[in-house]
Amino acid sequence: MLRFTSTRSVRTDVLFAPYFIALALYVPLLALFLATPDSVFRTRYLSSKYSSLEGAIFYALAIALFAGGALVGDLMARRRYDTVESVPQRHARATLVRLCVIGLALAVFGYAVWFGLAVSRAGGVGALVDTYRSDPATVRNYYFASVAGVTTLTQMAIGAVAVAVAYGLFRRRLVAALVGLVIVLSALVAVLASQRLALVELAVPIAYLAVAGRKATLARLALVTAAVVLVVGSFFISTEIRRTSPYRPLAAGDAVYRFFEYYLGSINNAFALADRYSLATPFYFATQPVWEFPGASHAGLTYEAISGIDAEELYAPTSTAPDNVFVATGTTPRISTFGLAGQAAADFGWAAPLWFLGLGGVVGAVYRAASRRRFYRALYAVWIVGLLDFVRIDYFLATRVVPTYAVLAAIFLLVERRPRPDAMEARARATAVSPSVQE
């Protein structure tokens, strides 16, 4: 909720509240989708617009219940996290630094191996650069193809960087050097491999942690927001033109249409799933980290083997099967994402609104805890990426976030759960005075 001071300033935290993001981002995107005519979809996006009352009701419910759940979770967590956290003791802080360095070092190692494989596949650095200039799709799909276990290591950087910034560990030279190296490597992957999310996953948490808890005037916030939109838009347009221009000309205006296609196309796909594929693949997307775990398929652990449903064929953008989502609904396979709402529709059917209510409650509680606890601040910094990409993907349960959760779980168990002397003394004092209070 907005908190204005006498100078008409506002706490920056409110801009990152899950219910604020839902109202400021999801609702306008849904309204834009509903207002976009079918002719634009056919001419610009090479797709038919999937319009249905059932899809619209489902999507609106998803947004409303997620935002409502987040607000309830925030309100319920306020009393629990109304005190300032105690500072970790020296031995706990040393453990925290070691865990952070290990996570960053493993990520750098993963990037080094990945880049080494890309250079080897290309036949040298020069050949890699030349191919990127003439055929960036080959660089993306072949040279930088995902390698099980290796690309997983690179994802450990997300949690480690968030922790380094949240706890102020970046002031140490080794940590700062590793964080800077990871950012450079992720930027190279974002450009060469056309994986912009790799850079976004670091930039968004860092930006949130840099401004969280501050106060600013509304005019300054508007100016900063406009600058961020300009920078993000320019980065997207430039990279989109660069990876498309070797095959066909792409004007800046076309790149803008392409930007909105990622979101409107995902909503379009979500409508199709809610209307025609409700509960088609129970728990498939929610348990995807299990099916995509390195070595799981070789051990026979697949969704099809357990459920008897070939979910991969059902959702594959390259499939020609008559029951494939894109074939059966006429939506474009150029955008193969379904968003959190679409995936929940396929997983839970019309029970999905309860899932959104519960997820919103958890996210809202963590948002409130982030205002007082550095660990939850780091976790919420990661989740903001999921909040901003709610319309496109389910980032909260995505396979790529599992290494991040592993880093945060280690820190929670080995650092946050350790009893701290000042906290124990506070509890002892509270216990000592409680009898007199009761009298």
Quick: pLDDT tens for 158-216. 999 999 999 999 889 999 999 999 999 999 999 998 889 999 999 999 999 998 878 88
Report the percent of the chain where pLDDT is more than 90: 63
Quick: pLDDT tens for 28-51. 999 999 999 999 999 988 888 998
221 falls within a domain = yes
Distances (CA, A) of 165 to 59, 210, 268, 370: 35, 8, 37, 13
Same domain, 189 and 108: yes
Which band of pLDDT confidence, cut at 50, 70 and 90, is reported for residue 2?
Answer: very low
- Both tokens of 61, joined, read 């419910």
Residue 237 scores a pLDDT above 50: yes
Distances (CA, A) of 259 to 66, 132, 192, 203: 25, 22, 19, 19
Which band of pLDDT confidence, cut at 50, 70 and 90, is reported for residue 27?
Answer: very high
Quick: pLDDT tens for 66-78. 999 999 999 999 8
Are 83 and 423 in contact by the 8 Å Cβ rule? The answer is no
For 41-66, letters b (16+ CB in 10 Å) and e give beeebebebbeeeebbebbebbbbbb
- Both tokens of 116, joined, read 């080494």
Same domain, 352 and 246: yes
Residue 216: Cβ within 10 Å count: 16
Same domain, 134 and 26: no
217 DSSP β-pair partners: 9
Element at 215 (helix H, strand E): strand 215-217
Count of domains for the chain: 2
State pTM to two decimals. 0.89
Same domain, 126 and 64: no
The values of phi and psi at residue 9, to 5°, are -100, 165
Same domain, 142 and 172: yes
321 falls within a domain = yes
Supply the pLDDT for residue 359.
Answer: 96
Quick: pLDDT tens for 87-123. 566 678 889 999 999 999 999 999 999 999 999 999 9
Domain membership of residue 347 as a residue range: 9-80+216-370
Comparison of pLDDT for 422 and 385, the residue scoring more: 385
Residue 419 scores a pLDDT above 70: no
Supply the pLDDT for residue 6.
Answer: 43
| DSSP H helices in 277-310 | 288-291, 303-307
Same domain, 68 and 139: no
Residue 262 scores a pLDDT above 60: yes
Query: Angle at which helices 156-166 and 90-122 pack, to 10 degrees?
Result: 140
428 falls within a domain = no
Are 30 and 60 in contact by the 8 Å Cβ rule? The answer is yes
By three-state DSSP, how is residue 216 classified?
strand
Amino acid at 18: P
